[in-house]
With several copies, the nearest count.
Chain A
Amino acid sequence: MMDITEIEEQAALDKIKSGKRLDGRGLKEFRDIKIETGVAKKAEGSAKVTLGDSKVIVGVKFGVGHPFPDTPDEGILMVNAELGPMASPNFESGPPGKDATELSRVIDRGLRECEALPLEDLCIEEGEKVWKIMVDIHVLDHDGNLMDASALGAIKALKEAYMPGYEDEKVLRDQEQEFKIRKVPIACTVGKIDDKYIIDPDLVEEEIVDGMVTVTWTEEELCSLQKRGNGGFKKDELLKIFELAKEKTTELRKIIE
């Protein structure tokens, strides 16, 4: 006997095999996206992304700290994600688990590899004091594809962020200095079901895909990849997926800018 989840999964599967999706979308279509900024009033930058029924809020805070020993004159980027018990009946309180850790690390690499942030400009005193940019991803409601929603939220919050002043060992948050990001990395997750590829899998679809790849593109370059889930992909499939992701991230880029 099948329980409700299984029935729903089966229905989603049948639909996709026929080239459609349960919620009426095309296979290569994102759900509705809404991005609001300035939502966290104490953050230097923030964005709330609603992707279908998934909701993610990203806040950017600046702080001052010690540089890493191997980059004494560079600022520090920290990305953290919380998948708290609010977001899903299946989540528990506690330190970030494997899912939250993967989420934050993929977003981190997307930003870091393309050098989206001008970390070299964020040194206050070489070897002693540098700016720390702390990007916190907080998942409010989990209905699938948190990766793409979080990547969008992170880059949008960073684009909106100002840099506070710093004087006499104090961070002055009422002074707003310009802070310019250099690249806009955008993630697109592509799932595979038999010979079909789908974009932006929702929670049910994440359960039924053979596998997924989260592909992060800047305008021109591929800057991070992460295969997720259990299945496998042939090399040629992957190349097609990268192309597809490029096309879709180009669409998303318009919303962000």
Chain B
Amino acid sequence: MSENKELLKNGKRIDGRGIEDLRDMEAEVGIFKRADGSGYFRMGNTEAVAAVFGPRELHPKHRQKPKRGILQCRYNLTPFSVEDRKRPGPSRRGKEIGKVSEGALSSIVFLEEFPTATIDVYMEVISADAGTRCVALNAASIALADAGVPMKGLISACAAGKIEDTPVLDLKGEEDKDGQVDLPIAMNAETGDITLLQMDGMTDIDEMDEMLGLAVKGCKKVAEKQREALMKTFEDSK
């Protein structure tokens, strides 16, 4: 990661945000008919939809676990979500994000209530301007709630990062490209349990402390937006 653009000027970022500001957010619950639960989430120009199917029987049967269900995630970029069209089909990056997303979401679902079953979470990124895995998880989390899956809380995700040696919250595309550190996390906003954590870039423990602090704050704001959308659906359905 290099720094050839001026990303920070008088404490303001290229899009006018302050250091601790998230991009504007939008959330919607229950957007699809066929899925058991579904959700949409947008942060700035990054947006994703998620659909949840299940709990349902897991095939092939030899993969079933007798004492608990499993949660499986598929993360995908639509071909038109990026600058240069992405070839359809699984990518190495997508496989990895699918796996860490399973780790992030499994801990909040009462999987022991669904022995032998699977809960399938499909996330599609519609447009990608940094933070795609966080936005996709935010959509997935409300889709799980929409599906009525028994959950211990909501997962809320956002990234902190470092640009021009300064920790900031929620990188957008140019900041991610020319920034120094990218630190996406996902968190149960009520308990403070961080269930996804990845980091690229060079840093130290003090900076990590600062960036994690920012990210935790960000997740709490994301959680508000998610709850608001869920509440709206709940009210609408009354």
Contacts and interface: CB of A to CB of B under 8 A. Distances in A.
Given A41-B45, A221-B204, A231 B128 contact: no
Contacts of B205: 222, 239, 242-243, 246
B34 A235 contact: no
A63 B83 CA distance: 10
Given A101-B99, A136-B85, A239-B209, A141 B194 contact: no
A225 B193 contact: no
Contact of B84 (A63, A84, A220, A229): A63
Contacts of A235: 192, 194, 212-213, 216
Interface string B141-183: 0000000000000000000000000000000000000000001
B124 A232 contact: no
A59 B197 contact: no
Nearest to A59: B80
Interface residues of A, number: 67
A225 B198 contact: yes
Interface string A219-257: 011111111111111110011001100100000000000
A129 interface: no
B127 A231 contact: no
Interface in B59-113: 74, 76, 78-85, 88-90, 92-93, 95-96, 98-100, 102-103, 106-107
Contacts of B92: 96, 101, 104-105
Most chain A C-beta atoms within 10 Å of own C-beta, residue among B34, B90, B100: B34
A98 B193 contact: no
Given A82-B88, A136-B79, A97 B95 contact: yes
Q: What interface size band does chain B fall in? A: 35 or more
Contacts of A18: none
B83 A86 contact: no
Nearest to A143: B33
Interface string B3-29: 000000000000000000000000000
Nearest to A64: B84
B103 to A, nearest CB: 5
Interface in A17-51: 39-43, 46
B204 A86 contact: no
A93 B201 contact: no
A150 to B, nearest CB: 14
B179 to A, nearest CB: 12
Interface in B34-51: 34-35, 45, 47, 49, 51
Given A89-B34, A101-B99, A136 B80 contact: yes
A226 B100 contact: yes
B194 A61 contact: no
Nearest to A226: B198
B107 A59 contact: no
Nearest to A237: B194
A213 interface: yes
B188 to A, nearest CB: 6
Contacts of B129: 41-42
A102 interface: yes
Contacts of A46: 80
A99 interface: yes
A142 B53 CA distance: 14
Given A86-B124, A97-B95, A142-B34, A61 B197 contact: no
Given A42-B127, A238-B197, A84 B32 contact: no
A160 interface: no
B113 to A, nearest CB: 15
B78 A222 contact: no
A223 B201 contact: yes
Interface of A: 39-43, 46, 53, 55, 57, 59-61, 63, 80, 82, 84-89, 93, 95-99, 101-102, 104-105, 109, 113-114, 134, 136, 138, 140-143, 171, 173, 211, 213, 218, 220-235, 238-239, 242-243, 246
23 contacts: A40-B80, A40-B81, A42-B80, A42-B129, A46-B80, A61-B79, A63-B84, A63-B85, A86-B49, A101-B99, A102-B96, A102-B99, A113-B201, A140-B32, A141-B35, A143-B33, A211-B107, A223-B201, A225-B198, A227-B195, A230-B107, A231-B193, A235-B212
